[in-house]
Structure 1
């Protein structure tokens, strides 16, 4: 899946816990920013699981698509994997079709939970340009942020809803600190307009230093952060980061 997106996190929790919270659609849609709704469709025993998904692109507008998935719960090496293909015919969907996989790799330092996926953008050449510049980086960030939210749920018991509230609250606090620093610097400089050049230095440090700190300081440990996830495979040719053969056996929905 050369050129596709890759995200990996390490979760210090049991394999069954992570499996259930990623394979059950009601739980999956709680932590994954990329989906608003996921619902399984009835299928015959032994057949790949078919599902529908929805993404809310505007208030009151849900763009829906279909998909098919299959999983390998008992592998000889103790790992698990799942694969999916998806498609969306809605004209407002940026994606036309795609495919991806999840791997669950137990280890002494926790469970490596990783994904690789790729998709085809809509709207021809303009769509491919928008994808490269905007949408693909945004999708990578949303996947990594969601994986860290899942980690907090499995490790600390922080529900996805509570984690989102913390993220919004911390973001608001950082923005308020940055805005307050700029306002304070402006007031400081305005209070002594006739002072020498050296008097502007404290105001400049305040106006630049605080917003920079608000941007660069790492999030609190209980707040989800995309930066905690790997965005590239840890080693070239690593078997755990290669697409599973199961993916090739799935038909496009």
Structure 2
């Protein structure tokens, strides 16, 4: 699957989009992404996710960490997973926030979609956020930060694919291990813009995202 540079998206839609085809059972992709302990193993955007209370509507509050060695970014969020679609499609909506002044990402919102097809599961995300770091962050975000965050997300999605399809543990495709010969996670295996729907990336979010807002 050839990727499309984030720079090729419409200037009016700054939200990030990542999509990958995973040739694995839907239930397996769901398990590896919805279980917090499994999630942090493949997703380089988090080093820890700790569930907190479950709300009456089923939404789950959580706190998260990203260990950068010299500093640990901490924040909170809420997620809401649904499995009721007649077509078999599943979704997960997310809100997140942090008070950490060193975080390049501030308040954000996004979603995951799991779309079953004859070839496998189209696993995709759309999300947007307010830049951190004040005025400097607003300057750097379109030039550096947003492009790096897209790459990090896409590479993480390919680590998930290798785990779900081939059973390769994410630990074997992280850090210096990913430089070895063999199967390497590559951001270019992901799409960076959705198929034409006439809507923006965030307009295509599931209804559940508004329900937890």
Tell me the TM-score normalised to structure 1 length.
0.74
Distance in 1, matches of 2:13 and 2:201, equals 15
Q: Which runs of 5+ in 1 are unaligned?
A: 171-219
Distance in 2, matches of 1:239 and 1:15, equals 26
SS of residue paired to 1:161: helix
SS of residue paired to 2:53: coil
Deviation at 1:73, TM superposition (A): 1.2
Q: Which runs of 5+ in 2 are unaligned?
A: 1-11
**Bigger Rg, structure 1 or 2:** 1
1:83 counterpart (84, 93, 110): 93
2:117 is the alignment partner of 1:107: yes
1:43 counterpart (23, 29, 54): 54
SS of residue paired to 2:185: coil
Distance in 1, matches of 2:142 and 2:89, equals 33
**What's the counterpart of residue 152 of structure 2?**
142
Residues 103 and 240 in structure 1, CA contact (< 8 A), matched pair in contact too: no
Which protein, 1 or 2, shows the higher relative CO under an 8 Å CA cutoff with sep ≥ 6?
2
Residues 105 and 240 in structure 1, CA contact (< 8 A), matched pair in contact too: no
Deviation at 1:249, TM superposition (A): 1.1
Distance in 1, matches of 2:172 and 2:137, equals 35
Matches within 5 A, 1:225-236: 225-236=186-197
**What's the counterpart of residue 198 of structure 2?**
237
Tell me the TM-score normalised to structure 2 length.
0.87
Hey, which of these two has a bigger chunk of strand by percent?
Answer: 2
Distance in 2, matches of 1:141 and 1:93, equals 17
**What's the counterpart of residue 8 of structure 2?**
none
1:34 counterpart (22, 26, 45): 45
Q: Superposition RMSD on alpha carbons, in Å?
A: 2.0
Deviation at 1:45, TM superposition (A): 5.0
Deviation at 1:147, TM superposition (A): 0.3
**What's the counterpart of residue 178 of structure 1?**
none
Large movers: runs of 4+ above 4 Å = 238-241
Q: Deviations over 1:114-152 (max 9, x none)?
A: 000000012333211111111100000000000000000
Distance in 2, matches of 1:26 and 1:45, equals 23
SS of residue paired to 1:42: strand
**What's the counterpart of residue 6 of structure 1?**
17
SS of residue paired to 1:112: strand
2:212 is the alignment partner of 1:250: yes
Residues 104 and 114 in structure 1, CA contact (< 8 A), matched pair in contact too: yes
Number of residue equivalences: 200
2:91 is the alignment partner of 1:129: no
